[in-house]
Amino acid sequence: MTDAAQRRIVALRAAIEHHDYRYHVLDDPEIPDAEYDRLMVELRELEARHPELVTPDSPTQRVGAAPLDTFGEVVHRVPMLSLDNGFSADDARAFDRRARERLGEVDGAIDYAAEPKLDGLAISITYEKGVLAQASTRGDGTRGEDVTANIRAIRGVPLRLRGAAPALLEVRGEVFMPVKGFERMNAALAARGEKTFVNPRNAAAGAVRQLDPRVTASRPLAFFCYGVGTIADSALAQWRRYSELLGSLRDLGLRTCPESTVVAGVDGCLAFYERIGHARAKLAYQIDGVVYKVDRRDWQERLGFAARAPRWALAHKFPADEVETAVTAVEFQVGRTGAVTPVARLRPVFVGGVTVSNATLHNMDEVARKDVRVGDTVVIRRAGDVIPEVVRVRAELRPPGTHPVALPTHCPVCGSPVVREEGEAVARCTGGFRCQAQRREALRHFASRRALDIDGLGERIIDQLVAADRVRSPADLYTLTKDELAALERMGDKSAQNLVDAIAASRETTLPRLLLGLGIREVGEATALALARHFGDIGALMDADEAQIRGVPDVGPVVAAHVAQFFADSANRELIDALRRHGMHWPVVVERAADAPLAGLTFVLTGRLASVTREEAGAALAALGAKVAGSVSKKTNFVVAGEEAGGKLDKARALGVAVIDEAALTKILADRRRPRT
């Protein structure tokens, strides 16, 4: 009977996968829902009688995982980049002009793959030998959250690919909630007296980030793929045109956007933009613009990347929605660096898919320029469909008796004086860590992923610790006990122990992470890394004067002044000492001796490295005395070119700079000797 059961199970799975493909990918079902359900019921019953025949890729196993405590982290094999935005026809024409100039001689118009810009959640799905192995969110582009169990629960995502699947295929796409499904779900929630969702995007994002995949499975989610990351052992890796790649993905059983097409030149792009814009309200899914991608792969590779976005693609956004509402108050918020920011409190109004009740006014110069006053009728727009902003004041509707908004003389949180330095638009609270608002934001920054990466130390916990005056500086985090944390609101013993462990783990860090976490004004990741490479250890940086700091490559006078002022403050120096007393440590970054193996050589890293990150490779080179620069010049000795290297590689070739690959870099680091020029 087992052989017969196995044959029937195989047949049922094949039939269900076929009908899933017809329904979700081709949108052309062959059987009614009742017949599909009958097949699924029969399969479940057979598998229940023969559990030894159940496999992870069975259609019955979409929801089988237990609820999670938290999401794991996934490092993307290929970074998930964002796209440059355009907001006008001129922006699209400029994009096309830049592409043509960089490509040189182009015979006729460039072919662009054009597709709607889905308003959902970007997801990467990895298939190994055709079977879904892992799924993750975009996150910061380099690292995302592991949401495999939830993505498996989405019916439109195949658990097993059709046909001859690659040994490894990483698919990129968008999880979204179709409009009709969203409306049905909200109606059902309202009927039960439960809270409804504001828009499909929020509903989709919330569903994917549920710790219980059964909740995800109950939501009407869909998935469109629009690209790939890594492909191994397959002819698919040799795709020549993006439009052909989408066809190959459809053949594998992956759904793509049915409105995707190929157009000729920028005029074709703008015609597609107009057509999709007119059809927007009738589409089955929400979009916030369209995307143009150079169709030819060899041209994509020649165009390369700029910063964190490809030069061969543009997101042409639709105009932001604008509505009118009233300003009920202007309040002032205090940020991590003490910046006192005016915020307009508004009569709640629905715009761009969300209810908006406040909007930033940026700074007092902006308040004066727009002359925003309490009682005014203002036009509100969600810039880029995200950040609410005051576009203009309807001065003709202004009621009598209004007054210009004045900058407070003292901090609304701690009462410390508010100062505005000459030449700066931003006013600041002088309270430092004495100000609870600054302390809260500083602690959030200190614990953030790119700084000390203290998992579990979120806003709710920080707010409670600051309100109780238990944590007055980052150093106090390392004195917290499990019992103290467990006593906080909505914290159990297990969560408290996890947080204690995460805080303990953060004691072992790197100098760039520490410098970033300290929250020095104008010091981001790149500057923190440059300072660490130049000074090697924090003691040398603390003892440096402003002129010495200004001598660091890529550090300008304004940043140098902020860094020098930070370490001139005795409270900040005491913070460093306290962190060390509590066990925080980091390796020295630079071997500064003149006879260091790579002293006097300048390297530039470009493209994606397989074995290490560029940051890790740069730190390793700097530890051997090399200078690692961000741009190529005649003074550059070596350019290390990884996969998908862009403009830096082109410039190196034009200047005659030596180009080495990752294997050569690995040998240099292993041998610890000066490479021969």
Domain that holds residue 622: 602-671
Residues 260 and 377 in one domain: no
| Whether pLDDT at 383 is above 60 | no
**Whole-number Å distance between alpha carbons of 301 and 660:** 18
- From 388, 415, 442, give the residue that closes a domain: 415
State the Cα–Cα distance between residues 674 and 600, nearest whole angstrom: 10
**How confident is the model over 463-479, as pLDDT tens digits?**
999 999 999 999 999 99
Give domain status of residue 74, yes or no: no
Residue range 145-156, pLDDT digits in tens: 899 989 998 988
| 476-481 CB contacts, 8 Å cutoff, 24+ apart | 477/443, 477/446, 477/447, 477/503, 478/503, 478/504, 478/507, 478/579, 478/582, 478/583, 478/584, 479/582
pLDDT in tens, 386-400: 568 888 999 999 999
- The region, left, alpha or beta by phi > 0 then psi within -120 to 50, assigned to residue 607 is left
Note the pLDDT of residue 355.
80
Q: Residue 77: inside a domain, yes or no?
A: no
What proportion of the chain, given as a percentage, has pLDDT over 90? 43
Alpha-carbon gap, residue 585 to 482, rounded angstroms: 22
Mean pLDDT of the chain: 86
**In this prediction, what percent of the chain has a pLDDT beyond 70?**
92
For residue 390, give the CATH number of its domain.
2.40.50.140
Question: 257 with 366, same domain?
Answer: no
Q: 95-106 burial by CB neighbour count: b if 16+ within 10 A, else e?
A: bbeebeeebeee
Statement: residue 264 has pLDDT above 90: yes
Burial of 244 (0-12, 13-18, 19+ CB in 10 A): middle
Chosen domain end from 455, 490, 505: 505
Q: What is the DSSP string of 578-596?
A: HHHHTT-B--------TTS
Instruction: Fill in the amino acid letter for 207.
Output: A
Model confidence at 407: pLDDT above 90: yes
Q: Tell me the CATH number at 665.
A: 3.40.50.10190
Determine, yes or no, domain membership for 647.
Answer: yes
Token couple for 89: 């026809």
Alpha carbon distance 432, 235 (integer Å): 59
Same domain, 37 and 102: no
For 427, the 3-state DSSP assignment is: strand
Write the CA distances from 370 to 391, 425, 436, integer angstroms: 8, 15, 31
**Is 594 part of a structural domain of the chain?**
no
At residue 312, the pLDDT reads: 94
**633 and 574 in one domain?**
no
Q: What is the CATH number of the domain that holds 40?
A: 1.10.287.610
What letter does residue 282 receive in the DSSP assignment?
G
677 pLDDT more than 60: no
Place of tokens 């001796």: 593
Pairing mode, strands 354-360 and 339-351: antiparallel
Instruction: Compute the half-sphere exposure of residue 195: CA atoms within 13 Å on the CB side of its CA.
Output: 4
Same domain, 106 and 230: yes
Q: Are residues 496 and 528 in the same domain?
A: no
Of 235-249, 419-433, 570-584, which gets the smallest average pLDDT?
419-433
Q: Which CATH number fits the domain that encloses residue 235?
A: 3.30.470.30
Q: How is residue 154 written in tokens?
A: 């989405």
- Mean pLDDT of the 297-312 span: 85
Instruction: Say whether both 239 and 304 belong to one domain.
Output: yes
Is there a single domain that holds both residue 130 and residue 243? yes
The verdict on 486 and 517 lying in the same domain is: no
How many residues are there in the chain? 677
Q: Which residues are catalytic?
A: 117
Looking at the domain assignment, is residue 480 inside a domain? yes
- Asked whether residue 33 falls in the same domain as residue 149, the answer is no
CATH code of the domain containing 576: 1.10.150.20
Strands (E), 352-383: 354-360, 377-383
Q: Which one, of 613, 623, 626, 612, lies nearest residue 675 by Cα? A: 626
* Digit-coded pLDDT (tens) for 32-62: 767 776 787 788 788 777 888 887 778 777 6
Residues 118 and 267 in one domain: yes
DSSP states along 44-108: HHHHHH-GGG--TTSGGGSS-PPPPSS--EEE-SS------EE-SHHHHHHHHHHHHHHH---SS
> Residue 441 in contact with residue 461, Cβ under 8 Å?
no
Distances (CA, A) of 207 to 135, 136, 147, 176: 14, 14, 11, 10
Q: Is 94 exposed, middle or buried (0-12, 13-18, 19+ CB in 10 A)?
A: middle
Q: What are φ and ψ of residue 660, in 5° steps?
A: -125, 160
Contact 662, 607 (CB under 8 A): no
- Total number of domains in the chain: 6
Give the separation between CA 348 and CA 330, rounded to whole angstroms: 14
User: What is the mean predicted confidence (pLDDT) over 20-27?
Assistant: 67
The answer to whether residue 234 is domain-embedded is: yes
Please give the single-letter amino acid code of residue 603.
F
Is residue 589 included in any domain, yes or no?
A: no
The predicted structure's pLDDT at residue 197: 80
User: What pairs with residue 325 in β-bridges?
Assistant: 378
CA 465 vs CA 25, 495, 502, 590: distances in Å = 50, 15, 16, 37
Average pLDDT rounded to a whole number, residues 205-216: 83
Residues 162 and 24 in one domain: no
- pLDDT at site 591: 44
Nearest partner of 622 among 595, 592, 649, 648, judged by Cα:
592
In a domain? residue 676: no
